[in-house]
Chain A
Amino acid sequence: MDLEKLRKTAAEIVSREDVKYLIGWRQGTFGYRAAPCFVEDAAGAAELTFSPLCSANLATYLTLAEKLPVPRGKEPDSRKTALLVKGCDSRAVVQLLVEKGVKREELVIIGCPCPGMVDRALLAEVIPEESAPADLKWSGGGFVLVKNGLETALPRDRVLAEQCRLCRHPNPVVSDILLGEPVQPWEVGPDGGVDEIEAKDVADRWDYWEEQFSRCLRCYACRNACPLCYCKDCILDRLNPTWINRAVNFSENTAYHLARAFHLAGRCIECGACERACPAHIPLGKLNRKLAREVRDQYGFEPGLDANAEPFQAAFKPDDPEEFIL
């Protein structure tokens, strides 16, 4: 990725009259982090970056943007939002278009073909994270860490994030401007994380998830980080009716996580934001990927690829599977 081109393009876009701001990534202030940022001028554009640390899904911010009350007599701000998208971010945008969460004419989409992101935890296992910010680059088939002026090569398989290893769509599926050349999609192996659980018998699966869900703090970071969990008033927060109690205990936690996963069935674009956001390191991606796999294999549908697709949960086929029905 040519960062100069990225910054120049971004500067041009934010200087446009009809653009409110651009959502991108910049170098973080701590260790192996890149931070999402809102760029409103050329100075901001100069800070933009795109590196293997930019795993945050920027589509999330499209629906998080608060719509402040418009004073009487004033028109609402109808300027466009520009954003940088990787493959997964772009799929989230497409799914938002399907769900009318955003309007295409209100977006300027800058596509960034993505060779894959690192998993910060894996990276820290190889080279411990320190407070000073470090930079990471793609190089050849792997990554190069630039820290204190020293470059360390890292094999791709060692530090590549799980969702990226399983990624089928590394190139943006929708964009107005595509930066750089599309990357060659890579061979996607079996989803070991999901297979491993499927291989267990049902009681062992329960025990596995009991161990996981018991650690949940119910901070809702998974929900808030998800680009497709954007209801202003989540039903799981409501008191009337009460779907889940506020109490943090295994029963309510399980109910919360199953409901969350189910609401994303046929919608999840497998970006892994939920799992990255989880402070308790619950492997939430496995729940989502399991459902995404069933939707793909049994129903022949993959969300976030076609903005004109019927929403999966609001459609059916007469020959949908029904072997499970008595």
Chain B
Amino acid sequence: MSEQFEPNIVAFLCNWCSYAGADLAGTSRVQYPANINVIRVMCSGRVNPLYVMNALQQGADGVLVSGCHPGDCHYMEGNFYARRRLGLLKELLEFAGVDPRRFHMSWVSASEGHKWKEVVEKTVEDARAAGPFDQFRRRQIDW
């Protein structure tokens, strides 16, 4: 059997719930795949939907956005905006032929270290199943 494809995942986590939840997973020594690379933002509401698209174009095989559960947002409403924007983005990406398994959104609270692990596993598994997303890669990179 050939070597298994290891997808590259970019994740955007809100500082107060999901990033704290991911930290808790660390403190609890919960093991999960190393494919996930986290960018910390203050609130899931900060995630410009174009970030998701940009990440896919820049080389991610999957993207995850995670925030506080509805009603628990540190900023009261940010995750509601994120939910509306990213829900629509998901529709658009699917319509444009981007495998729905490449983009996920989740609610992970500061106390859900185990849920974080499950979310990561699901995201990685899905992106792995969807395969490398080479078709959309940016041609030149000049960073």
Contact = CB atoms under 8 A, between A and B. Distances in A.
B87 interface: yes
B50 A324 contact: no
Interface of B: 49-50, 53-54, 57, 70, 77, 80-81, 83-85, 87-100, 104-107, 119, 122-123, 135-140
B135 A325 contact: no
B81 A316 contact: yes
Contacts of A266: 88
Interface string A295-316: 1001100000000000001111
Given A258-B53, A259-B50, A202 B70 contact: no
B88 A202 contact: no
A131 to B, nearest CB: 39
A273 B40 CA distance: 39
A203 interface: yes
B96 A322 contact: no
A220 interface: no
B98 A290 contact: no
A206 interface: yes
Interface of A: 194, 197-198, 202-210, 243, 245, 247, 249-252, 254-255, 258-259, 261-262, 265-266, 287, 290-291, 294-295, 298-299, 313-318, 320-322, 324-326
Summarize B's interface: helix, strand, loop or mixed: helix
B87 A322 contact: yes
20 contacts: A202-B94, A202-B97, A205-B95, A247-B139, A251-B136, A252-B139, A254-B57, A255-B57, A258-B92, A258-B93, A262-B49, A291-B88, A299-B84, A316-B77, A316-B83, A322-B87, A324-B90, A325-B105, A325-B107, A326-B107
